[in-house]
Every structure is written in C-alpha cells, then in structure tokens.
C-alpha cells in the first residue's frame, strides 16, 4: 500500500474450482449472484464475488480497452521473442562473418606464399639462363690479349677450349654436350616449383577444413535453437590431377624454347670463329699502322705528317678493336640467350597464372556451402529485422490509438 499510495482490494479466488464448476455447468454464463449458486465448487472458488466486483467497477471503455489490449499484448510478446531470436542468430552470424574474414586473410597470406614460390622459381630459371649466357664473358676474362691475338692466327684453339671448359666448370654447368641437358635442368627446376605449388594448395585445403570443422554441416534454428538444418558439406579440395596436368603443359613449353638452341660444341665453334674474326681484324689494323710507321722511321718510306698520323690511328684502332670486339661478342651471345629466357618466362608465367586461378577456384569451391550460408543468413536477418521493427512500430501505434479512443 505504501508503494501504490492506496489500499488495494484483495479478492482471493480459485481458478481451478471455478473452471471445474463451469465445465460441469456448460450453460452457466457466470452472471448470477453468489447467493443463487448452490454449488460448493462455485462458492469455494469465490469467482462470483470477483465477477460482481468487475461488473460494478469496470466501465464500457475499460472493457473495450482490455479486450483490444489483450491480443495486442500477445502480439507484442511474440515480437519480443522474435527480437531475442534475431539477436541470438545475429550473434552466431557475427562469429561466422569473422570466420570468413579470417579465411580470406589466410587465403591472402597463402597467395603471398605461392607468389614467393613463383618468384624463387623465376630467379632460379633466370640464374640458369644467365649462367649459360655469361660463359663467353668468363672465357674472355680467362684469355689474355696475347691469347686472343694467337686465336686470330689460328694458334689458340687449345687455349680457347681450355678456357671454355673452365668457364663451364666455374658456372657449374653440365658437362653434357647436347642442349637437351639444359632443357632437363629447366624442367627439373620447374617441376620442383609445380610440386611446391600443389603441396601448398593441398595443405591450405586441409587447414581450411580443419579450421572450419563441422560448423557448416548443421546449423541450429528455431526460437530456442532446438531445431537443426543441414546446409551442405565441405570437403578437402582435390589436386591430384593438377600436378600431372601442369607438368604435362610445362614440358612442351620448355622443349619448344630450347629445341632450337645450339649444342655446347656448336656454341664453342661459333664463339671461336667470332673471336678469330675480331682478332684478325685487330691484327690487320695494328700491322698496317705499325709497318708503315716502322718503314718511315727506318728511312725506307717517305711519309708526310698526315700519313704518319693515319698510321698511328690505324695502330690505335687495332689495339682497341680487339677488346671492344670481344666484349661485343660476349654481349651478343648473352643477349641472344636472354631473349630465349624472356620467351620461356612469358610462357611459364601464363601456365602458373592459370594454375593459381584453378587452385584458388578449388579452395573457394570447397567452402562455398559455408559462404552461401553466411550470405543468405545475413540477407535473411536484415529482412527479418526490418519486418520486426515494422511490427513493433505498428503495435506501438495501435496501442496509442486504443489508449486515445478509450480515454
């Protein structure tokens, strides 16, 4: 009474006794006075006094308000339960969304790892080409100027062959004479790269499944989460055929690039011929200039100052043409080999790019049931939340109308 500010009227009743009496008296309306009831059940329930009190106390507007508010209150209770269920499902969805974000982040890290593997492969392939392309420069570094001049007069073949073999040993090249050995080495390096890619893809697929577990197999539904819904099954991606197919595509590309390359013996012969031409030209220029000058100073030839200058120029040109010509031969050889390396790199890049797309596609397909569930649940909850908010707003507006009409 202190809280209410008045003394409340208390009427004790027994709902069970009143219900039992009314079930025994289906024709009873409940509007008779208590004194007219001969039933002990009805008298003991004390409902007659309550009904008399309500009939005398409640006005018509109160009765109408009570009648209309009762189903509205039930609807508001259902909307409240729906709100709690949506909030529970939203909490579960937040976990799923966070899981997908982690998977995407892990996939990005996986792509970076695969990119680093491909970069190392490119470096290894480029190293092989560069090593082979720089053989002539190593030969040139080992030959002295005298050795190069002797090549020009046909007396330096043995020296050149020794320098060629030493250059190959220094660059850790195969001792085989045919270019197929170089092709096999490129195939071996590329096979290791493809094997690393497929192994990494398998490990990534297994990690995805291990991380997700069976979460996407069964999802709880219902207002109390007591129902289960199968949304699909995720499996480990299969990559058995990918490695074989990738290797089957790589071998023809490498063989096509290297099949027209000259053998090791042909390379040595071509380079030796080029060195002979450069040395002969240098020797010719130097001998022309030096002989003219020597004859002039020996008194056997009378040359003007301009002719002496030309002789000196020929001598200098002969001295400088040999190292310049030798470097040009080395650069030309290197340029020719590296142009083939660029062609091979473009072909392998296309193959590995296609392989990475297939790997990412397989990994994505493996978790598609989970991804589809998260997206559909997200869309469904947004729609349910809008409908719930609309229902709550309608209920609030309707209760306001009822209160205003019953004032």
Contacts of 397 (CB under 8 A, 6+ apart): none
Give, as one character, the DSSP assignment of residue 391: H
Local confidence pLDDT in tens for the 407 residues of the chain: 455 455 777 888 888 888 888 777 755 554 444 434 446 888 888 888 888 887 777 777 777 777 778 888 888 888 889 999 999 989 888 888 888 888 888 888 998 999 999 999 989 888 888 888 888 888 888 888 788 778 777 777 888 888 888 887 776 544 344 444 788 888 888 888 888 888 888 888 888 877 776 555 444 554 444 555 545 556 667 776 887 888 888 888 888 888 888 887 888 888 888 888 887 877 776 666 556 665 555 555 555 556 556 666 666 666 677 788 888 888 888 888 888 888 888 998 999 998 888 888 888 888 887 888 888 889 999 999 999 999 999 988 988 888 887 77
Whether 183 and 258 have beta carbons less than 8 Å apart is answered as: yes
What are the tokens at 162? 């020794």
How far is residue 237's CA from residue 272's CA, in Å, rounded to a whole number? Answer: 55
d(CA 32, CA 36): 7
Is 45 within 8 Å of 14 (Cβ atoms)? yes
Structure tokens at 266: 């042909």
Gap between the Cα atoms of 48 and 50, Å rounded: 5
Instruction: Quote the tokens at residue 147.
Output: 């050795």
- CB-based contacts of 261: which residues, under 8 Å, 6+ apart? 179, 182, 337, 340
Helix (H) or strand (E) holding 232: none
70 burial class (0-12, 13-18, 19+ CB within 10 angstroms)? exposed
CB distance 151 to 279 below 8 Å: yes
Question: What's this model's pTM, rounded to 2 decimal places?
Answer: 0.63
Query: What radius of gyration, in Å, describes the C-alpha atoms of the chain?
Result: 48
For residue 34, the 8-state DSSP code is: G
Please check whether residue 110 is in contact with residue 356, taking contact to mean a CB–CB distance below 8 angstroms.
Answer: no
């Amino acid at each position: 009474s202190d809280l209410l500010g008045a003394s409340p009227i208390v009427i004790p009743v027994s709902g069970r006794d009143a219900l039992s009496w009314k079930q025994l008296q289906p024709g009873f309306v409940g509007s008779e006075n208590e004194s007219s009831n001969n039933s002990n059940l009805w008298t003991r329930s004390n409902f007659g006094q309550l009904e008399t009190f309500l009939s005398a106390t409640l006005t018509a507007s109160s009765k109408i308000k009570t009648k209309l508010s009762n189903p509205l209150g039930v609807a508001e209770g259902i909307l409240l339960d729906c709100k709690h269920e949506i909030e529970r499902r939203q909490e579960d969805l937040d976990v799923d969304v966070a899981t997908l974000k982690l998977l995407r982040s892990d996939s990005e890290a996986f792509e970076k790892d695969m990119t680093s593997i491909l970069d190392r492969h490119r470096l290894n392939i480029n190293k092989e080409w560069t090593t082979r392309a720089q053989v002539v420069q190593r030969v040139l570094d080992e030959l002295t100027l005298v050795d190069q001049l002797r090549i020009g007069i046909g007396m330096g073949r043995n020296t050149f062959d020794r320098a060629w073999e030493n250059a190959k040993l220094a660059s850790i090249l195969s001792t085989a004479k045919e270019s197929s050995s170089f092709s096999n080495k490129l195939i071996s390096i590329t096979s290791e790269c493809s094997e690393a890619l497929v192994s990494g893809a398998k490990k990534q697929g297994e990690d995805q499944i291990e991380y997700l577990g069976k979460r996407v197999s069964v999802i709880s539904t219902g207002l109390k989460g007591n129902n289960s819904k199968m949304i699909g099954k995720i499996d480990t991606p299969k990559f058995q055929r990918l490695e074989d197919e990738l290797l089957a595509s790589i071998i023809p590309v490498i063989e096509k690039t290297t099949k027209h390359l000259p053998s090791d013996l042909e390379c040595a012969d071509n380079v030796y011929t080029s060195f002979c031409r450069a040395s002969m030209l240098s020797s010719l220029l130097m001998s022309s200039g030096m002989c003219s000058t020597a004859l002039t100073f020996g008194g056997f030839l009378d040359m003007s100052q301009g002719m002496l200058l030309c002789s000196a120029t020929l001598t200098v040109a002969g001295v400088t043409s040999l190292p310049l010509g030798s470097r040009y031969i080395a650069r030309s050889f290197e340029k020719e080999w590296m142009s083939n390396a660029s062609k091979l790199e473009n072909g392998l890049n296309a193959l590995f790019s296609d392989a990475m797309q297939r790997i990412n596609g397989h990994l994505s397909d493996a978790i598609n049931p989970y991804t589809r569930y998260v997206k559909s649940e997200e869309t469904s909850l947004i729609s349910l939340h809008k409908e719930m908010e609309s229902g709550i707003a309608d209920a609030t507006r309707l209760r306001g109308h009822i209160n205003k009409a019953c004032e």
